[in-house]
């Protein structure tokens, strides 16, 4: 365990469905993340992916409640995580 402020914990989830992959992200991470489906920002990556969402689109869709100073790091993490997932 590394001591850190609660507001630096995030939660991310990737779910596959018939139409593609949903990326769910919430700025409220930690042990008691709660009802993620109700409060998470969501981005659908379609199965027939002709163009992966831009970094700007990922940030605008998923990172609305995250300080802009960490957007670049989180977009990079989300992009790399999704690349490993698929």
Indicate whether 32 belongs to any domain.
yes
pLDDT at 85 over 90: yes
Question: Residue 69: its pLDDT value, please?
Answer: 95
CATH of the domain at 17: 3.30.470.20
Indicate whether 52 belongs to any domain.
yes
Name the residue range of residue 28's domain: 6-85
Residue showing tokens 């920002």: 41
Provide the number of structural domains found in the chain: 1
Question: Residue 42: its pLDDT value, please?
Answer: 96
| Own/partner pairs, 42-48, CB within 8 angstroms, 24+ separation | 44/19, 44/20, 45/20, 45/21, 45/82, 46/19, 46/20, 47/18, 47/19, 47/20
Indicate whether 1 belongs to any domain.
no
How does residue 32 score in pLDDT terms, banded at 50, 70 and 90?
low
Indicate whether 34 belongs to any domain.
yes
Mean pLDDT of 19-35: 80
């Amino acid at each position: 365990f590394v001591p850190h402020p609660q507001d630096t914990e995030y939660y991310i989830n990737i779910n596959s469905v018939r139409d593609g992959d949903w990326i769910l992200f919430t700025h409220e991470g930690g042990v008691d993340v709660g009802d993620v489906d109700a409060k998470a920002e969501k981005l659908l990556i379609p199965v027939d992916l002709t163009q992966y969402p831009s970094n700007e689109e990922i940030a605008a869709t998923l990172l609305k409640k995250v300080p802009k100073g960490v957007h670049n790091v989180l977009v990079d993490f989300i992009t790399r995580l999704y690349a490993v997932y698929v």
